[in-house]
Amino acid sequence: MTQGAKYRENEHVLEISKTATICVAVISEAEHHNSQSFPLYWLLVDKESLTDGKIPSSMQKDISAVLADSLSQEVLACIPEERSKWLERFAKKEYKHFAERQFLPGVTDNLAHTVEEALRLKGLKGIIKVASGRGFLFKEKSGDADAISEMLIYKEYHPLTDRFVVHETSDDGAKLLKFPHVVLPETPRVENVNLELSDANLEALSKERLLALNLDEMKAIRQYYRLDKTKADRKSHGMPEMPTDVELEVLAQTWSEHCKHKIFNAKITHIDNSKPRELRSETITSLYKTYIKAATKKLSQWRKDLLSVFEDNAGVVKWDNETAVCFKVETHNSPSALEPYGGALTGILGVNRDILGTGLGAKPLFNTDIFCFAYPSPSLPQRPKLLPAKAILDGVRKGVEDGGNKSGIPTVNGAIFFDPGYRAKPLVFCGTGGLLPLHIKAGNETRDAVKKHTQAGDLIIMAGGRVGKDGIHGATFSSESLNEGSPMSAVQIGDPFTQKRLLDFVIDARDAGLITGITDNGAGGLSSSVGEMANITGGAIIHLDRVPTKYPGLADWEVVVSESQERMTISTNDFDGIKKLAEKHNVEVSNIGEFTNKGYFEVQNNGKTVALLDLEFLHDGCPILSLESQWSPAQITMKTGKQPEHLGRVLLQLLKHPNICSREPIIRQYDHEVRGQSVIKPMMGPAQKAPCDAAVLLPRLTADLDRAPALAVSNGLCPRLSEHDPYLMAQCAVDEAVRNAVCVGADPDTLSLLDNFCWPDPVYSDSNPQGKRHLAELVRCCQGLYDAVIAYGAPLISGKDSMKNNFDDGALKLAIPPTLLISCMGRVPEARFARSMEFKKAGDLIYILSAGVLGLAASHYEEFNGWQSIMLPELDLDRAPTLYRRLHTAIKSGWIHSAHDISEGGLAACVAESVIGSRNGASLDVGEYHKYLSNLYEERGTQAFKSWDFVTRADALLFGEGPGHIVVSINRDHQSDFERHFEGLTSIKIGEVTAEQQLNIVDSEMKPEEKDLISLSTQAMKTAWETALPFD
């Protein structure tokens, strides 16, 4: 048992009356500002460690040594009653108010945990527990207590996680905050629940207990308890006939949408109103099987490197003869809407654990993060339950910084996308890739490390953090219903340091052959992790009395479904070995039960069975949903206008757009290089200003790394097209991910994709009248996804869906735009082939590669003008895969100096970015491209192009957006090789790289007075592009 654990256990038996609190403030010497803030601590100590109620001087000295920098800080430490002296001191310095921030009881307090450990390391005796906080001082002009609270809310404190109290410095100090003890009311540990109820009452029961089960599901559960076999089983285990609350909670968790993906497995009657009447209706038995699994299955005959898809916590692809790479992307939207910092942090740490729980344990290599936000603006809807948009941005960004940086996992790739639709809910996608050995030696045995080898008789080990109320039915709690000592369960804050120790431990334990199986404790806690692993052996039994908890007083069901973070569930046949290694790593491990082959998921507490569920029923007993969808093509009213006079000014405005401008200030705060594996970083080029299309990194550190194969990681996301057609949206998302990966040098025949659907609620009901439409959008999205995946030959290896991205407080209903994120990884044959997107050398020739048509619909140019058109972009799926393959060969031949995809802001923004990232300029004549489009227009006939009267208009040509287009610059010595190489495809020379730092674009096909389109200095574009996003 580690020292830390022993002390924490003491807390369960220690009576509060036998403790004392030492209050500490660490003040910086410069104490003369109008306002200032500083750390506060409450140290809970054994009363006997004080001398006559006073802090001994040696203790005083040690506390100062640990908590302050002697060169610049002063420590005030005293018993609570003496804090009146603090107030006097503050008053003397003319401060009018002293505010205290303290975590609410039970909220994860990482600083406090480290302080506890540091004080013990310093040799301090009698430390039981620490709480951390912050003090703030204000002079009179900051206003009264309310003004101060108003000013600091969501910036310095969040009502869901913090207590924030403002005192006057003239107070006597009696109201200053005390140690935040967790106090739980006495609750029965187990209850029996009667299901022999009317339909209405069954539904009411589900609602009341927050089970989120529908009537069919409640009835299926009731039916299970009516079976003679169930009754007999229960009798023999001394169980009542009625279900226990533990069982209901386990069923509700296992059958939840989050874990069971009921919508993706539902039987759907899909009505497509755009088809002739007799063809309108079709039945889809499961979106997942029909479109996602089927696509991968089809492609797996060519892709022998797919080692594990859709089975484990992440998709696994063979890397070389010794290792495999795996990748998983999760969403953490609802938690981030509620408390953005904790939401994003637990999102990242959670997906890291998914990787750690893949096979016998993979080591995280990199993180990716993609955010969809509403841009902070007074025009956004404001509701009491909607956090300010800016608070969401800052909280999420900080959560990602701490989650990645402190774990030593580089954040290598990401995206930030703004659309007012995300006011309904911010989307926070957290991805992690990992490296897994193919084989592990365990004694004389060599295990396939991609698989789990848990056997009946193996012990169930819980490793890492302890169990608390965290995340239990979290989202439904509200702050009003909580009393003073309630542990906050709605919000979870991750602990990257504890998890880093856990991670190091798991990798060591894996390599020592101590792990037979492993999975993470995320959503659903032990119920989910043990429940899933029980499927391998055919049963499991958990002993709750052996599960360490953060504080006493939890009900049995709470221990089983708690989502307390930083925990892994491991199966082993060598607990002693595990325990020894865990002690070295300062990780707490507990033997909490055993995997069996008895066919039950059983839970006992002190020898008494509190849950006994047939494993088959638990996992396969959930009734299949039947849903209806209805599709009608989007009705969009055209609204366009004349081409603006100054296209250069338009380009500058577009470069300032939040979806286009530089992400550098955010990228710089994320460690994107730790582990020493980066080849293409987020920002490259001579001034580190070139925003790269995708990351390239080396999964393994071995000799001759410049020639070693490297891994490209990219993403694609085009939610604005959903409004027009989710089928196209899905295709464009796949294409964008693929195109980005190819641009940095990935071989298009080695790509693996991940799908993450974030949707507005697609289940129709009285309160959700748009349900059928949203389900139809999902159907079309899956169809588009299938077609694109097959065309590119890039299989889906893992995915996730989040299906309730709505806001509804009774007064206002909001829904996000249907969003599909595609994440992609692929192989760059040698690191030295990798390409960055900035122009390299004056004289290089610039080409546009095209497989499709760019469009104005859903473009940022259209948004800028306030237009709405139906000139949709097109993706030529017959030609695009060939185009990308040829580009890849050209890259390997060394002809290509830069490659950059055309995305937000169109051709003009694309070229502008390649100029800004370089020391060069560019001179473009788009005449040939113009001619090409005119010919296309002629060929197709005006009928097909009815909606795009301005296909060849200069603004459409410069700012049209869409899939299938790449701008490359090439070494002019290879011009003829290059042109020959692309014969039969569309590759059009549009200009050359210049030494002068200037972007000039002309169109020689236009009349002389109209042919000058854009002339801008690099500096002007750079200034516009570096417009700051509204992050702190």
Partner 1 sequence: MKPRAIVLTGDGINCGDETLFALQIAGFDPLLTHTSDLLSNPKILKDAKLLALPGGFSFGDEIASGKVLAIKLEAALKDSLKEFVDEGKLVIGICNGFQCLVQMGLLPESEKEGVRLASLARNNGKKFINRWVQLSVDSKVSCPWLEGLTEFDLPIRHGEGRLSPAKDSEEAVKKQAPLRYSLEVNGSFDRISGLTNAKGNVFGLMPHPEAFVRWTQHPSWTRLTSLPDKAPPGLRIFQNAHSMVAN
Site residues (vs partner 1, CB under 8 A): 66-67, 69-72, 110-111, 114-115, 117-118, 121-123, 401, 405-408, 495-497, 500-501, 504, 583-586, 667-681, 683-686, 688, 701, 703, 705-706, 831-832, 834-836, 840-841
Count of alpha carbons within 13 angstroms of residue 292, beta-carbon side: 26
Give the span between the Cα atoms of 288 and 779, in whole angstroms. Answer: 10
HEC string for 74-100? EEEEECHHHHHHHHHHHHHCCCCEEEE
Closest to partner 1 by CB, 816 vs 831, is: 831
C-beta of 690: minimal distance to partner 1 in Å? 9
Closest to partner 1 by CB, 232 vs 701, is: 701
Closest to partner 1 by CB, 403 vs 881, is: 403
Closest to partner 1 by CB, 300 vs 586, is: 586
CB atoms within 10 A of CB 879: 17
Closest to partner 1 by CB, 581 vs 854, is: 581
The 10 Å CB-count burial string (b at 16+, else e) for 158-172 is: bebbbbbbbbebeee
C-beta of 845: minimal distance to partner 1 in Å? 17
Closest to partner 1 by CB, 832 vs 879, is: 832
C-beta of 484: minimal distance to partner 1 in Å? 27
C-beta of 838: minimal distance to partner 1 in Å? 8
Instruction: Judge contact between 506 and 427, C-beta under 8 A.
Output: no
Q: Where are the beta strands (DSSP E) in 80-236?
A: 97-103, 127-138, 162-168
The phi, psi pair for 533, rounded to 5°, reads: -70, -25
Closest to partner 1 by CB, 26 vs 251, is: 26
Nearest CA to 672 among 694, 647, 644, 639? 694
Give the span between the Cα atoms of 891 and 971, in whole angstroms. Answer: 11
C-beta of 69: minimal distance to partner 1 in Å? 5
Instruction: Judge contact between 791 and 748, C-beta under 8 A.
Output: no
The phi, psi pair for 16, rounded to 5°, reads: -60, -30
Torsion of CA 551, 562, 347, 825, to 10 degrees: 130
C-beta of 927: minimal distance to partner 1 in Å? 30
Helices (H), 748-795: 771-792
Closest to partner 1 by CB, 66 vs 128, is: 66
C-beta of 195: minimal distance to partner 1 in Å? 46
End-to-end CA distance of the chain: 43
Give the span between the Cα atoms of 887 and 970, in whole angstroms. Answer: 11
Grouping H, G, I as helix, E, B as strand and the rest as coil, residue 772 is: helix
Sort 992 into a burial class: Cβ within 10 Å, 0-12 / 13-18 / 19+: buried
C-beta of 676: minimal distance to partner 1 in Å? 3
Closest to partner 1 by CB, 496 vs 881, is: 496
Which pair of structure tokens corresponds to residue 168?
Answer: 């006057």
C-beta of 145: minimal distance to partner 1 in Å? 27
C-beta of 376: minimal distance to partner 1 in Å? 20
C-beta of 931: minimal distance to partner 1 in Å? 32
Sort 276 into a burial class: Cβ within 10 Å, 0-12 / 13-18 / 19+: exposed
Give the span between the Cα atoms of 682 and 414, in whole angstroms. Answer: 9
Closest to partner 1 by CB, 685 vs 748, is: 685
Token pair 């921030």: residue: 101
Closest to partner 1 by CB, 568 vs 582, is: 582
C-beta of 841: minimal distance to partner 1 in Å? 8
Give the span between the Cα atoms of 533 and 530, in whole angstroms. Answer: 5
C-beta of 683: minimal distance to partner 1 in Å? 7
C-beta of 29: minimal distance to partner 1 in Å? 11
Give the span between the Cα atoms of 560 and 547, in whole angstroms. Answer: 9
CA 576 remoteness from chain centre: 36
Closest to partner 1 by CB, 668 vs 940, is: 668
Q: Which residues touch 202 (CB under 8 Å, ≥6 apart)? A: 195, 215, 218, 219, 222
Closest to partner 1 by CB, 920 vs 986, is: 920
The phi, psi pair for 60, rounded to 5°, reads: -55, -45
Closest to partner 1 by CB, 345 vs 737, is: 345
Angle at 184 between CA 153 and CA 399, to 5 degrees: 35
Closest to partner 1 by CB, 214 vs 323, is: 323
Q: Which residues touch 132 (CB under 8 Å, ≥6 apart)? A: 39, 40, 41, 42, 103, 109, 111, 112, 115
Nearest CA to 800 among 252, 403, 313? 313
Give the span between the Cα atoms of 977 and 229, in whole angstroms. Answer: 75
C-beta of 157: minimal distance to partner 1 in Å? 18
Closest to partner 1 by CB, 119 vs 958, is: 119
Give the span between the Cα atoms of 541 and 560, in whole angstroms. Answer: 12
Closest to partner 1 by CB, 497 vs 864, is: 497
Instruction: Judge contact between 336 and 347, C-beta under 8 A.
Output: yes
The single-letter DSSP state of residue 290 is I
C-beta of 410: minimal distance to partner 1 in Å? 9
Closest to partner 1 by CB, 112 vs 778, is: 112
Give the span between the Cα atoms of 539 and 505, in whole angstroms. Answer: 27
C-beta of 501: minimal distance to partner 1 in Å? 7
Give the span between the Cα atoms of 895 and 33, in whole angstroms. Answer: 60
C-beta of 83: minimal distance to partner 1 in Å? 21
